[in-house]
Amino acid sequence: MAGHRGKLIIAVVVALLAAGACTPFSPPPHAHPSTLRAQVVRETEVGGFYRQGVARVQNGWIFSFNDGLFSTDDHFVQTQQLVPAIPAAWKAFGFNHIGDIDVQDGVLYAPLEQPDYSRGYQAMLTYDASTLAYTGGRLIAQHQNSFVTVDGRGIAYSMDEFGGDALLRYDVRHDWRPLRPLAMSTFVDRVQGADIARDAAWLSTDDAIDGVYRVDLHTGAVAALGSIGHVDGEGEGIDATRLPDRTDLHVLSIDVKLLPVRLIDLRVTRLPAH
């Protein structure tokens, strides 16, 4: 959550300058019955600042930090960075945190957050995904803003609070016009990231099991898929690009000691019929 994130910033910088055990999946009591499971295939330690959001791009990745954006190649070797990434004009209004990002049609979308949630507004920024150059931003009527993800039709998805039973939707191509939210079949807590792929929103959380969830975009049905492990740490952003190695989900995990930061790759499989 944002309070947790705020406390992490100073400790993270100190740890970076100075320098988990996995838990079997147990569905929470509110979980919708699911025939799918997400199983951890691989864990890769990535740069210590790659800790808020993640998005797959051609031949590489883009990661976000509280006030930074970083491009890497397929092997997580950094190719460019933008630090600070929050323009001064937005900082002047108290905005200080970038969450889980997304890339669609060459545009990098970044959820921007200010810590006074009672104000009832946050912001969405855009950058050129190739150069990381800032291209614009807009205020939105949300209390919190941990993630944004955009589908191929230009519909953006986010969430009003860190947990909820609905996904907010915006028409990006018409100045972020609010659309009817997607009602979810159950409440999912402490959502840190999301990505749209394969007719679903895939959610990553920092809940009791650091779980991942699938939300059907047609029905809103929520299915609990499993845990990324390292539940004593913090789950963060997610990308749902299906890679050639048959991994389907890629989730950031911050160790309980703040370092290392891991990218957890998971494969979604269908359970055998009984």
Residue 28 lies in a domain: no
pLDDT at 99: 98
Per-residue pLDDT for 10 more than 80? no
Helices marked H in 42-121: 88-91
Per-residue pLDDT for 28 more than 50? no
Q: Which two tokens stand for residue 98?
A: 């970038």
Question: Minimal CA–CA distance to 230: which of 195, 189, 260, 187?
Answer: 260
Residue 84 belongs to domain spanning: 2-20+37-270
CATH number for the domain that contains residue 111: 2.120.10.30
Residues sharing a CB contact under 8 Å with residue 71, sequence separation 6 or more, in sequence order: 57, 60, 61, 62, 78, 79, 80, 81, 132
Per-residue pLDDT for 183 more than 70? yes
Confidence of residue 33 (pLDDT cuts 50, 70, 90): low
Residue 107 lies in a domain: yes
pTM of the complete model:
0.88
Compute CA distances 18 → 32, 78, 211, 223, 261, whole Å. Answer: 44, 20, 31, 41, 15
Q: How far apart are CA 201 and CA 118, in angstroms?
A: 27
Q: How many domains, in total, are found in the chain?
A: 1
**Which helix (H) or strand (E) is 45 found in, with range?**
strand 36-46
| pLDDT above 90 coverage of the chain, percent | 85
pLDDT at 15: 39
CB atoms within 10 A of CB 269: 15
Q: Which two tokens stand for residue 76?
A: 């997580």
pLDDT tens digits along 207-251: 999 999 999 999 999 999 999 999 999 999 999 999 999 999 999
The rounded mean pLDDT for the chain is 90
pLDDT tens digits along 99-131: 999 999 999 999 999 999 999 999 999 999 999
pLDDT tens digits along 131-162: 999 999 999 999 999 999 999 999 999 999 99
Question: Minimal CA–CA distance to 73: which of 93, 57, 91?
Answer: 57
Cβ atoms of residues 235 and 249 within 8 Å? no
Q: Which two tokens stand for residue 271?
A: 């359970």
Residue 31 lies in a domain: no
Residue 29 lies in a domain: no
| pLDDT above 70 coverage of the chain, percent | 87
CB atoms within 10 A of CB 70: 22
pLDDT at 272: 74
Cβ atoms of residues 32 and 185 within 8 Å? yes
Q: How far apart are CA 169 and CA 4, in angstroms?
A: 26
Residue 27 lies in a domain: no
When mean pLDDT is compared across 30-44, 146-160, 187-201, 239-253, the lowest value belongs to 30-44
Confidence of residue 25 (pLDDT cuts 50, 70, 90): very low
Residue 32 lies in a domain: no
pLDDT at 9: 40
* Better-predicted residue by pLDDT, 6 or 179: 179
Per-residue pLDDT for 27 more than 80? no
Residue 30 lies in a domain: no
